[in-house]
Amino acid sequence: MKRRRRAFLIITVLLLLVILLVLCGAYLRSQVNYYKGARTNAWKAGARQLALSGLEDVRLKMLKDGTFPPTNLSTTRFTYVEKVFDESGQIVGSYRVTLRSDKSDKPLYMLYVQCEGRLGPPEAPIATHTLSALCDISEKRRDTSGLPNPRYRRWVQYRDSDWQY
């Protein structure tokens, strides 16, 4: 009789272990998706930071160089790409800046800037993010006062996704 109780106890313990193993396996499988999502969010955040670097690059170029962007082009679109490296010289990613000056004449005086950040190698990025902004390029206020524009070469509108004006 004692031997029979031992066999029942061993079978019960084995069944409980199998149930725990199945539950732990399901839990671990669900955690894989969370880790993938966290990694994807980190990549997207890196691509967004590269796009912000592009916007900052445009802003600094406009502040330092009065002839930027070039206006003697036959087209209204100006695009350039810059690669970003870390301190060890490895490529982190790149950003592509597109400037559209088709609304830069009277009465709007606006420059459309679109920056696309690409995380990873330029030929096969692992994440991309696009930022768009409008820059006021009117030297004088828009009223009849003729005073200098306090918002000259500053962002007047900024969006985190693709949009058109």
pLDDT at 164: 45
pLDDT at 21: 94
What is the pTM (predicted TM-score) of this model? 0.73
pLDDT over threshold 70, residue 137: yes
Side chain identity at 50, as an amino acid letter?
L
Q: Tens digits of per-residue pLDDT, 61-115?
A: 888 887 777 765 556 788 899 999 999 999 999 999 998 877 666 666 788 899 9
Structure tokens at 22: 């199945």
Residues of 58-83 as b/e, b for ≥16 C-beta within 10 angstroms? bbeebeeeeeebeeeeeeeebeeeee
First-to-last C-alpha distance (Å) of the chain:
86
**Structural domain spans, the chain:** 37-159
